[in-house]
Amino acid sequence: MGGPPADANGSTSIIDGNWHLVAYTYTGNTNDGNNGSLYVDGALVGHNGVFVTPAGDNLDVWIGGAPDYGTAFGTARLFLGNIAHAAVFTQALSPGQVQGLFTGEVSLTITHSGSNVVITWPSGILQQAPALTGPWTTNNAAVSPYTVPGGEWESVLQGPGQSLGPGHK
């Protein structure tokens, strides 16, 4: 076989009686050797390579195990413990986004440049809505720093973890 291990492993122990953030990202590109990354408490601890599209369909989500574990290993390859705040994202998170999940720190800077508004953020996506209650949509054109021309930012903008409503100065 000669490829990287099938599972992403790290030497950081999470068996210490404390809560930990464990995150795994997969880029979806089977042509990359290190397309899977394992993080513990926001820090990268291991990689693995996924060389074929994972089995199943777009409805399969396994947290704390996987369908290939079956019963041959009993419960040895299943997570035994408590899981809280589980989340599944539609794209692989960047290292900065994983770190932001761990620290809870999000930075969204808003400045004026003439009559324009300039929004800057370190990672994540920018969403917008016509009102604070939504409906929220991803602004795919928004790359940090993002300039909103004067008079055009009457919708509500939401950066990673923060909202900015109309009339903000």
Q: Which of 1-5, 72-76, 147-151 has the lowest mean pLDDT?
A: 1-5
3-state secondary structure of 115: coil
Residue with the larger pLDDT of the pair 163 and 116:
116
Starting at the earlier edge strand, list the strands of the sheet with 109-113: 109-113, 116-120, 146-148
Residue 162: is its pLDDT beyond 60?
no
In degrees, to the nearest 5, what angle opens at C-alpha 30 toward C-alphas 10 and 62?
60
Predicted TM-score of the model (pTM): 0.58
Other CB atoms within 10 A of residue 4 CB? 17
Starting at the earlier edge strand, list the strands of the sheet with 137-138: 137-138, 127-129, 156-159, 162-164
Beta carbons of 72 and 13 less than 8 angstroms apart = no
Q: Which two tokens stand for residue 16?
A: 């210490």
Residue with the larger pLDDT of the pair 15 and 75:
15
Mean pLDDT confidence for 89-94? 79
Q: Is the peptide bond before 145 cis (omega within 30 degrees of 0)?
A: yes
- Tell me the pLDDT band of 61, cut-offs 50, 70 and 90: low
Domain boundaries, the chain: 1-105, 109-164
